[in-house]
Amino acid sequence: MTVIEVSASKNYQVLISEGLLGSSGELISGLVKGKTAVIVSDDNVFPLYGERVKNSLEKSGFAVMSFVFPHGEKSKSMAVYTELLEFLLSNRLTRSDFLVALGGGVVGDLTGFAAATYQRGIGFIQIPTTLLAMVDSSVGGKTAVNLENGKNQVGAFYQPSLVICDPNVLSTLPKDEFLCGCAEVIKYAVLFSEEFFGELMNTPVENQLEHVIKTCVTMKRDIVKSDEFDLGLRMLLNLGHTVGHAVEACSRFTVLHGQAVAIGMCVIARSAVKRGYLSNDDAQRIVSLIEKYSLPTMAEYPIDDMFSAALSDKKASSKDITIIVPRKIGECELVKIKKSELIDWMKDGGVK
Ligand code: NAD
Ligand code: GLY
């Protein structure tokens, strides 16, 4: 089993190994005082894995309840969040009890925010079931729900007590969702490691799951340690996201997040070549790796729509934005630009 120690406002471990799901109870039992667990999950994941986690928790002596909501980003809402809090209160959960987030990033973000705020904070465990959640969202303590007109606009930094990654659960993940996780994995390689980039080129992610999850979580752990509250270096993790958000919005969210991030990385890589930050050779290698994982490298939305969509969720008061620009594979830079300049960066990246 791989064990990664995360040190932030709370210290905790990320455990990675095939088959861990069935040992959740044992793994959690030393960490919590209370005797009641609430499994929070969605209606795709709970039927697949809920019983296994419930049985394991019960075997370790916990009383277990479950709160299951419809899958999808729409459920990352104030309405479902409030329902969950009401459920916890009506079942008399106390601060010594705990929540178990069993699912992808939607489940993890919503459960984490409920845990951060219910009775001013109760413990929670992350059991991520998508590749994206394993390599990114379950670690680092960003929790949130969406408002009608803004993603992640209500949230908290609140670290879990433990993260349990069982790569076996990825066998039921739809292919498109798996590939979206691969886009985030490629992002880590472009940001931090040419060697890892080579490994992703030579060996498919599905053939080296534990190694890939371990590598990405270690990279994220290091970033979170140096900038838990997202005031500087952590912004690097937004590589490809400014253009990516624009693609998602222009497609009315028919392009999935990971696909949009893949496009965003390609646009910024092309632009970085034109502006002298990155060699043409490295940009080609980034695009090739993204193609290798059947991810898109360009979207055909008009430049004016893309530009306004990219800025729509940025703070109105600030004239500047920070974009993440690759210098070479394994090294990127935070570059502050005027918002008005973003349109030229997009044009240079091939958006018409
Ligand atoms: P998701 O949670 O919506 O899961 C994707 C789909 O896969 C869902 O339909 C889900 O039911 C299904 N699913 C999950 N695991 C499965 C499994 N093992 N087998 C079969 N089906 C399964 O999406 P996601 O991509 O995991 O997460 C996206 C969310 O994560 C977004 O809301 C995003 O904002 C958030 N996010 C948060 C952070 C953070 O740091 N907190 C980082 C990145 C993304
Ligand atoms: N996924 C971005 C972050 O955790 O900061």
Ligand 1 atom with least separation from CA of 44: 11
Residue 131 CA to ligand 2 center (angstroms) comes to: 14
Q: Minimum-distance ligand to the CA of 257? A: 1
Mean pLDDT of 226-252: 94
Ligand 2 surroundings by CB, under 6 angstroms: 136, 140, 142, 230, 234, 237
Fold agreement (2-172, 181-348):
no
Mean pLDDT of 186-204: 98
Residue 138 CA to ligand 1 center (angstroms) comes to: 10
Residue 128 CA to ligand 1 center (angstroms) comes to: 8
Give me the pLDDT at residue 315, please: 59
Task: Please tell me the distance from the alpha carbon of residue 339 to that of residue 140, in angstroms, as a whole number.
Answer: 28
Give me the pLDDT at residue 318, please: 80
Q: Where are the domains of the chain?
A: 2-172, 181-348
Q: Is 99 left (phi over 0), alpha (psi -120 to 50) or beta?
A: beta
Is residue 141 within 8 A of residue 112, CB to CB? The reply is: yes
Give me the pLDDT at residue 253, please: 86
181-348 maps to which CATH number? Answer: 1.20.1090.10
Mean residue pLDDT across the chain: 96
Give me the pLDDT at residue 314, please: 62
Give me the pLDDT at residue 316, please: 57
pLDDT in tens, 52-99: 999 999 999 999 999 999 999 999 999 999 999 999 999 999 999 999
Residue 142 CA to ligand 2 center (angstroms) comes to: 7
30-34, 159-163, 210-214, 331-335: which has the minimum mean pLDDT? 30-34
Residue nearest to atom 37 of ligand 1 (CA): 137
Q: Minimum-distance ligand to the CA of 167? A: 1
Ligand 2 atom with least separation from CA of 220: 4
Ligand 1 surroundings by CB, under 6 angstroms: 42, 44-45, 48, 71-73, 76, 103-107, 109, 129-130, 132-133, 136-137, 140, 142, 152, 169, 172-173, 177, 180
Residue nearest to atom 2 of ligand 2 (CA): 237
Give me the pLDDT at residue 313, please: 66
Mutate which of 106, 135, 139, 142 for ligand 2? The one with the most ligand atoms within 8 Å of its CB, which is 142
Residue 72 CA to ligand 1 center (angstroms) comes to: 8
Instruction: Give residue for tokens 């069935």.
Output: 22
Q: Compute the half-sphere exposure of residue 167: CA atoms within 13 Å on the CB side of its CA.
A: 17
pLDDT in tens, 266-303: 999 999 999 999 999 999 999 999 999 999 999 899 99
Of all residues in the chain, the percent with pLDDT exceeding 90 is: 93
| Whole-structure pTM value | 0.96
What letter does residue 282 receive in the DSSP assignment? Answer: H
Cα-to-chain-centroid distance, residue 198? 23
Ligand 1 atom with least separation from CA of 130: 15
Mean pLDDT of 18-29: 96
Q: Architecture of 2-172 per CATH?
A: 3-Layer(aba) Sandwich (3.40)
Is residue 155 within 8 A of residue 205, CB to CB? The reply is: no
